[in-house]
Amino acid sequence: MKADAKKVWMDGKIVDFKDATVHILTHSLHYGNAVFEGTRAYKTEKGLAIFRLQDHTKRLLESAKITLLNCPYSQAELEKAQIELLRLNEFNKNVYIRPIIYLGDGEMGVYHIKAPVRVAIAAWQMDAAYLGDEGLKKGIKVKISSFMRNSAKSSMNKAKASANYLNSQLAKFEAIDAGYEEALLLDEEGFVSEGTGECFFIVKNGVLITPPNDFTLRSITQDTVLKIARHLNLPILRQRISRDEVYTADEAFFTGTAAEVTPISNIDARIIGSGERGELTKRLQDAYFDVVYGRDDAFNSMLTYI
Ligand SMILES: Cc1ncc(COP(=O)(O)O)c(C=O)c1O
- For the segment 38-67, the average pLDDT, to the nearest whole number, is 98
- For the segment 263-269, the average pLDDT, to the nearest whole number, is 98
pLDDT exceeds 90 at position 127: no
Query: Is the Cβ–Cβ distance between 7 and 127 less than 8 Å?
Result: no
- For the segment 147-172, the average pLDDT, to the nearest whole number, is 97
Residue nearest to atom 1 of ligand 1 (CA): 197
Q: What is the mean pLDDT of the chain?
A: 97
Q: Is 143 a catalytic residue?
A: no
pLDDT exceeds 80 at position 40: yes
Substitution site in 217, 255, 260 for ligand 1 pocket (most atoms within 8 Å of beta carbon)? 217
H/E stretch holding 199: strand 199-204
Q: How many angstroms separate the CA atoms of 230 and 226, rounded?
A: 6
User: Could you write out the three-class secondary structure of 101-144?
Assistant: EEECCCCCCCCCCCCCEEEEEEEEECCCCCCCHHHHHHCEEEEE
213-222 residue pLDDT tens: 998 999 999 9
pLDDT at 253: 98
Instruction: Give the list of residues 6+ apart from residue 33 with CB closer than 8 angstroms, or none.
Output: 27, 67, 68, 69, 102, 103, 112, 161, 162, 163
Residue 133's identity, in one-letter code, is D
pLDDT exceeds 80 at position 194: yes
pLDDT at 259: 96
pLDDT at 14: 98
Which residues line the pocket of ligand 1, CB cutoff 6 A? 38, 168, 194, 197-199, 216-217, 219-222, 255-257
Residue percentage of the chain with pLDDT more than 90: 94
pLDDT range class, residue 292, cuts 50, 70, 90: very high
pLDDT at 241: 98
- For the segment 36-59, the average pLDDT, to the nearest whole number, is 98
Q: Which atom of ligand 1 is nearest to the CA of 223?
A: 9
Widest Cα–Cα separation across the chain: 58
221-248 residue pLDDT tens: 999 999 999 999 999 999 999 999 999 9
Residue nearest to atom 4 of ligand 1 (CA): 198
pLDDT range class, residue 148, cuts 50, 70, 90: very high
Q: Given the residues 143, 160, 172, 282, select the one marked as catalytic.
A: 160
Write out the DSSP string of 35-59.
EE--EEEEEETTEEEEETHHHHHHH
Q: Which atom of ligand 1 is nearest to the CA of 258?
A: 11
Q: How many angstroms separate the CA atoms of 72 and 69, rounded?
A: 9
pLDDT at 304: 98
Query: Is the Cβ–Cβ distance between 288 and 129 less than 8 Å?
Result: no
Give me ligand 1 centre to Cα 114, in Å. Answer: 30
Round to the nearest angstrom and report the end-to-end CA distance of the chain: 24
Q: Please choose, from the candidates 89, 82, 17, the residue with its C-alpha nearest in 3D space to the C-alpha of residue 56.
A: 82
Residue percentage of the chain with pLDDT more than 70: 100
Query: Is the Cβ–Cβ distance between 160 and 35 less than 8 Å?
Result: yes
Radius of gyration (Cα) for the chain, nearest Å? 19
pLDDT range class, residue 114, cuts 50, 70, 90: very high
Q: How far is CA 12 from the centre of its chain?
A: 25
Q: How many angstroms separate the CA atoms of 271 and 250, rounded?
A: 10
pLDDT exceeds 90 at position 1: no
81-97 residue pLDDT tens: 999 999 999 999 999 99
How many CB atoms are located within 10 Å of the residue 205 CB? 7
Phi/psi at 208 (nearest 5 deg)? -90, 125
pTM over 0.75: yes
pLDDT exceeds 80 at position 252: yes
pLDDT at 2: 79
129-147 residue pLDDT tens: 888 888 999 999 999 999 9
pLDDT at 184: 98
